[in-house]
């Protein structure tokens, strides 16, 4: 019996043992979009808002420069708009900065937790025989069972 036949036999035995688990009754996996924003998602959205505010500020500054040349009487009003645009850009940057710091902190703490988890797994694997040369052991056992040199 080849590998495919062995797998089929194993699946048949599993289906007899647990009839509720079979390919016929398995429902497809449905992947849902996240319904809660993570710190990283919030930071990304805040950065996008900052970039949008920055583009708007740049547009207001460009219009103020144009007004200085073309309509000097309206220049003071444009400077007020530049100040308002700069304030909104600064506010957006402050929000993005805080959210990015929180997201980075969360990522670092998650990284530390995962590193310790994987170190523990590596120690458990090192304690076992995962790195043993099973091929050499099988050849030695075959020789011993055949009555060869020891």
Taking only the tens place, the pLDDT of each residue in 83-108 is 999 999 999 999 999 999 999 999 99
Average pLDDT, the chain: 86
Please state the φ and ψ torsions of residue 38, each to the nearest 5 degrees. Answer: -80, 170
State the pLDDT at residue 34. Answer: 81
pLDDT digits (tens, 9 = 90+) for 45-77: 999 999 999 999 999 999 999 999 999 999 999
Residue 81 dihedral angles phi and psi, to the nearest 5°: -65, -40
pLDDT in tens, 18-34: 555 555 667 889 998 88
Report CA-CA distances (Å) from 36 to 25, 32, 40, 42: 31, 11, 11, 10
Euclidean distance between CA atoms 67 and 53, whole angstroms: 21
Nearby residues of 85 by Cβ (< 8 Å), 6 or more positions away: 53, 56, 57, 60, 61
122: pLDDT confidence band, cut at 50, 70 and 90?
A: confident
């Amino acid at each position: 019996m080849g590998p495919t036949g062995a797998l089929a036999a194993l699946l048949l035995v599993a289906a007899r043992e647990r009839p509720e688990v079979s390919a016929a009754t398995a429902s497809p996996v449905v992947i849902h979009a996240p319904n809660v924003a993570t710190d990283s998602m919030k930071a990304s959205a805040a950065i996008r808002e900052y970039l949008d505010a920055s583009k708007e500020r740049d547009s207001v500054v460009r219009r103020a420069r144009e007004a200085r040349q073309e309509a000097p009487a309206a220049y003071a009003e444009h400077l007020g708009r530049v100040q308002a645009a700069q304030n909104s850009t600064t506010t957006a940057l402050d929000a993005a900065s805080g959210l990015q710091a929180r997201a980075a902190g969360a990522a670092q703490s998650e990284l530390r937790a995962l590193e310790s988890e994987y170190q523990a797994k590596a120690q458990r694997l090192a304690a076992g025989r995962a790195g043993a040369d099973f091929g050499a052991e099988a050849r030695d056992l075959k020789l011993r069972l055949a009555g060869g040199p020891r």
